[in-house]
């Protein structure tokens, strides 16, 4: 589960309070907004458009119940998950903002989403967001759709919030999830401020979600910018895959790999996650054009996340996996 690039978020509607959850069958994907493309870009665009159109059909509760024993065991014994701060979550529909780690398999994101479902069931639905490449991947993308993941599109996020569904995004995208292991406790939002404008237009509060431990599930030795840049000069790969990193990852079972899609099994690391105090935003639509205001909310979110991660990191008992 990789995050949306939040600068893509631009439209939305107010979500006053918590309206009854809608069972919409389409997210008004805005298919006309995508150019007709061929090759890998065309394939990605086609599958992402289809996923966006059906974004609010999920999650598949039968599938979630069937896989619950596996996730229960993983969270309890393998990742030793601790999630706190639930009492800070507002009653109203919210836009959650977090950081996530661990290369292409961001287990801190997956465990939080499972913990949310375990707590709220069908009474409060959370939609995670994922990168287009992951949503388009055969098998993986289909699984994402079944468990409620929506594509990194402004239409999908706006529709979910308007339907009274909570949404969590990770603005840092691949820059965040594929950062060097030495930066494992650093907040990386990559300067992407579209999530602030999304919250303003949708009229929802922002809830920062701090987490540490995910970056111990795989050791990213290099972010691979030089690899991505080199391949991009030859093939335009960065534009086709909408990514800027091709990290060198040390993991099992293949040892050293260059990862764009999952090539490792997550290592057993303790994951700590905390929901932080909500940040209210002005719902005046004109605020989206107020650069100073948008910057101030962005910095407030970034600062809250860093403080939360610092606090969680101090709880480690061991340098790694702890």
- If the chain, 322 residues long, is cut into consecutive pieces of 10 residues, what is the mean pLDDT of each piece? 47 47 45 51 61 72 96 97 98 97 92 97 94 72 86 83 96 90 94 95 97 94 72 58 73 86 90 98 94 98 98 91 84
pLDDT of residue 155: 81
The CA-based angle 29-35-38, given to 5 degrees, is 115
pLDDT of residue 174: 86
pLDDT of residue 260: 73
CA-closest candidate to residue 211, choices 91, 116, 306, 322: 306
Q: What are phi and psi of 257, to 5 degrees?
A: -140, 160
> For strand 248-251 and strand 255-258, is the pairing parallel, antiparallel, or unpaired?
antiparallel
* Token couple for 106: 């961001």
pLDDT of residue 17: 57
Burial of 30 (0-12, 13-18, 19+ CB in 10 A): middle
Q: pTM of the predicted model, to two decimals?
A: 0.82
């Amino acid at each position: 589960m990789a995050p949306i690039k939040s600068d893509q978020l631009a439209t939305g509607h107010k979500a006053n309070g918590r309206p009854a959850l809608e069972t919409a069958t389409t997210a008004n994907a805005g298919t006309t907004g995508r150019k007709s493309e061929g090759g890998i870009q065309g394939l990605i665009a086609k599958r992402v458009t289809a996923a966006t159109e059906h974004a609010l059909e999920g999650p598949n509760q039968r599938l979630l119940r069937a896989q619950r024993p596996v996730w229960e065991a993983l969270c309890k014994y393998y990742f030793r998950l601790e999630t706190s701060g639930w009492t800070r979550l507002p009653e109203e529909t919210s836009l959650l903002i977090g950081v996530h780690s661990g290369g292409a398999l961001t287990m801190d994101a997956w465990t939080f989403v499972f913990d949310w479902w375990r707590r709220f069931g069908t009474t409060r639905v959370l939609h995670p967001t994922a990168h287009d490449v992951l949503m388009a991947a055969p098998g993986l993308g289909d699984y994402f759709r079944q468990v409620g993941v929506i594509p990194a599109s402004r239409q999908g996020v706006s529709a979910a919030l308007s339907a009274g569904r909570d949404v969590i995004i990770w603005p840092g995208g691949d820059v965040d999830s594929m950062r060097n292991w030495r930066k494992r406790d650093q907040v990386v939002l990559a300067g992407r401020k579209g999530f602030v404008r999304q919250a303003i237009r949708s009229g929802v509060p922002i809830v920062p979600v701090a987490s540490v431990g995910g970056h111990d599930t795989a050791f990213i030795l290099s972010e691979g910018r030089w690899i991505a840049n080199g391949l991009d000069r030859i093939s335009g790969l960065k534009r086709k895959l909408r990514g800027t990193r091709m990290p060198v990852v040390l993991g099992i079972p293949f040892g050293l790999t260059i990862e764009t899609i999952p090539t490792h099994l997550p290592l057993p690391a303790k994951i700590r996650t905390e929901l932080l105090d909500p940040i209210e935003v002005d719902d005046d639509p004109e605020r989206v054009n107020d650069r100073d205001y948008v910057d101030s909310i962005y910095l407030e979110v970034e600062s809250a996340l860093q403080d939360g991660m610092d606090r969680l990191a101090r709880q480690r008992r061991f340098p790694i996996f702890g």
